[in-house]
Amino acid sequence: MGSHRRLAPSGFDRGALGVLSVATAAFGALAAVPAPAAPLDDTRAEVDRLYTQAEKATEAFNEAAERTGTLRRQVGESQDRVARQQARVNDLRERLGAFAGAQYRSGGLDPALALLFSDDPADYLDRALALDRITLHQASQLKDLQGALRELAQERAEAVRRLGELDESRRAVAAHKRSVEQKLARARQLLNSLPSAERAAYDRASRSGRGHLSGPGGAAASGRAAAALAAARSALGKPYVWGANGPTGFDCSGLVQWSYAQAGLSLPRTSQAQAHAGHRVPLSQARPGDIVTYRSDASHVGMYVGDGQVIHAPYPGAPVRYDPVGMMPVSSVTRP
């Protein structure tokens, strides 16, 4: 997203833009003193920084959202296990209750079984198993019930723990969402404060990257990679939408995930996880369809298309497009 617009000398030179502005004003017909270029450069640098931070927060949002979905499924599974175990406990209690009733009708209730109806079933179970009067069959039934109650308690504790994690994850999602929205709103505000000429220059600079870098091309490493690349190309021009993974809008990792899904391969949701979704290859050996992650924290990702270019969802306001693979420091190249 943002940091690839901090350019090397071979790309659009922002310092040169400031010098050019000053020179033009100095040699123009008017004698007015031009405004210094530094504040404009500072504004552009701040926009870059906010976009970079927003993208990192977006990937954190994606990760938290994915974890929330996983926890929600796990909570459902835990609740199902609790229900099944409760049914087993109820069944065992009914069987022991029926046995106790038969004893009562035949002349009296075994004291061990009478404890079944006490206020402290756990204490009953521990004491009942120690009594000599119960038969081997009764002891087996009591042990089954004791085990079932313990398992039920464990399942309930696990369900409570996962519900707590789910609640924490939901709060994390909300916090990351607020962070992204705040940073993007501030970036838009700063961009809107630039004169129209400066905004146009900023847009040209963001597209120029570090200049075209020649690089490996050739065929995709597999038919699946070729199909994923074709899907990514079909998304050209679609808007950047943070937290989205298609088909009408994408963030950076959403585009890569969606493209490979069209090729029949399920990839993780975040750029950091996608960096490990296959085997690493050197950038010099990249082939079309390979996943290219950026920055030391792998917070941005694109797909290599060949000839030194990637296709990616850059940042808000910029649609899915091609850019030089060297638009920012490459972290890794992964071949799914």
How is the chain split among helix, strand and coil, in percent rounded to 5?
60, 10, 30
Catalytic residue among 4, 176, 279, 312: 312
CA distance 281 to 333: 6
Q: In what order do the strands lie in the sheet with 330-335?
A: 279-280, 330-335, 291-294, 300-306, 309-312, 321-324
Written as six digits, the tokens of 158 are 């696990």
CA distance 318 to 276: 27
CB 305 within 8 A of CB 312: no
Our answer to whether residue 312 is catalytic in this structure is yes
CB 64 within 8 A of CB 174: no
Catalytic residue among 4, 176, 212, 300: 300
CA 71, 73, 77 angle in degrees (round to 5)? 110
Our answer to whether residue 276 is catalytic in this structure is no
CB 300 within 8 A of CB 328: yes
Catalytic residue among 4, 176, 212, 252: 252
Q: What is the DSSP letter of 245?
A: B
Our answer to whether residue 300 is catalytic in this structure is yes
Residue 216's Cα: distance from chain center in Å? Answer: 30
CA distance 129 to 123: 10
CB 260 within 8 A of CB 294: no
CA 15, 19, 25 angle in degrees (round to 5)? 150
Residue with tokens 């369900």: 159
* Residues whose CB is less than 8 angstroms from the CB of residue 176 and which lie 6 or more positions away in sequence, other chains included: 57, 58, 60, 61, 64
> Which active-site residues does the annotation give?
252, 300, 312
